[in-house]
Amino acid sequence: MHKVLACLALLLFPFSAAFAQLNAYFVNVGQGDAIYLELPNGSNVLIDGGPAGKPIVDFLKSKNVTKLDHVVFTHPHSDHYMGLLKVLENFQVNNFYDTKIDNTDAGGDDSLRKMAAAEPGCKVSYPEAGDQLPWDKNVTVKVFNSCSAPVSSANNTVLNNCSIVMRLYYNGHGILLMGDAESEVENAIMRVFKSGLNSTYLKVGHHGSRYSTSAKFLERVQPKVAVLSVGQDNNFGHPHKELMDRLKAANTQIFSTVFGTQSLVIPAPKRGMQLLVNGVPEFGGLAADQSAAEFNMEERVETGVESEALQQLRQQAR
C-alpha cells in the first residue's frame, strides 16, 4: 500500500524535487537581455525578452512553458522589449511589472504596454525601490530601483537608469539583476541600501558597458560569478575592456551569453547539492575550473568581429 501511495505521489508531483531548487537561465538572445527563472515553488519568471521574438519564444517552448507567472519589463529599450511583444502573443502572462518611463523615440514600448493591459487575467504593477515581491515564500525578491513617478525621455542614460533592478535571495545566495542601470543608480542603491547587496551572481548592468559596474559597486556586491548578456558583433563594443578589467580585479568568474545560454542552479537547502553553472559544479570541486564559457565553446559559431575584451575572455576560457 505504501508503495502504491509513493507511486501515486510521484505521479501527482513529478516535478516537486526539481522545483525545490532555483534555476536561472541567461538566454542567448543576441545583443539584449532575457532571463528566465524557475522558482522553487514551481512558479516562473521572465525578465525582459531580448531584441527579437524567435530566440526567446523558442527557448520558452523548449522549456515547455505555456504560461508565465511573472514578466518583468526592466525599461523601454528595444533590446529588452521586442521579444516581449511575441511572448505576450504566445503565452499567458499573469503578472506584468513595469517602470514608469516612456521612451519618446519608440512606439514598441507603447504597444507592449497596451498588450499587457489587454492580456486577460494579467495584473500590471509598478514596483518601487524597497518593495519585496511575494513570488515564493522561500525566495526574497527585493526591488532596488525603478522609476515610480511618470517620466518621458529619449535620452538613453535616463531610460537605462529607470531599469527595474532586483535581487533574488535563496539558500544563502543572491542573484542581482541590474537591467541596464548605470553607475549613478549603483551609487544611489549603495547609499539607500546599507546591506543586502551581497550576491553570489551578478547579471552585469548594461551588457558590460564601461558606464556600469563600478569598482566600488563590485566591492559591495562581492559577486563570485558575473554574467554578461551581450551579442557578438554588437555596435556598442560591449563588453568594454575597462569593465572586464574591473571584473577580473574583483576575482569574478565571467560568463557570457555570447557562448550560448548560461544557466545556474541554487540548490534547495540541506540537499547536499553543489551550486551549478551550466551543469558544472561551481566552487571548490574538481570541475570548478572548467568555466561555463568553456562548456559552451564547441557550439559557438565563429563569425565576424568582436570586441577586444570578448576576445580576451574567449582566450581565457581556452
- Chain contacts with Zn ion (rule: CB under 5 A): 79, 180
First-to-final CA distance of the chain: 55
| Least distance to Zn ion, CB of residue 262, Å | 17
What ranges make up the beta strands (E) of 40-139? 44-47, 67-68, 70-72, 92-93, 95-97, 101-103, 123-125
Burial of 156 (0-12, 13-18, 19+ CB in 10 A): middle
3-class secondary structure for 125-183?
ECCCCCCECCCECCEEEEEEECCCCCEEECCHHHHHCCCCEEEEEECCEEEEECCCCCH
| Least distance to Zn ion, CB of residue 113, Å | 18
What whole-number distance in Å separates Cα of residue 72 and Cα of residue 166? 10
Where residue 139 falls (left for φ over 0; alpha for ψ -120 to 50; beta otherwise) is beta
| Least distance to Zn ion, CB of residue 164, Å | 13
- Residue number, 30 or 223, with CB nearest to Zn ion: 30
| Least distance to Zn ion, CB of residue 32, Å | 6
Burial of 261 (0-12, 13-18, 19+ CB in 10 A): middle
| Least distance to Zn ion, CB of residue 51, Å | 9
- Residue number, 112 or 265, with CB nearest to Zn ion: 112
- Residue number, 180 or 306, with CB nearest to Zn ion: 180
- Residue number, 230 or 275, with CB nearest to Zn ion: 230
| Least distance to Zn ion, CB of residue 178, Å | 11
- Residue number, 79 or 306, with CB nearest to Zn ion: 79
Which amino acid, residue 202? Answer: L
- Residue number, 38 or 180, with CB nearest to Zn ion: 180
- Residue number, 142 or 238, with CB nearest to Zn ion: 238
- Please give the full DSSP string across 184-224, using - where no structure is assigned: HHHHHHHHH--S----SEEE-GGGG-TTSS-HHHHHHH--S
| Least distance to Zn ion, CB of residue 267, Å | 30
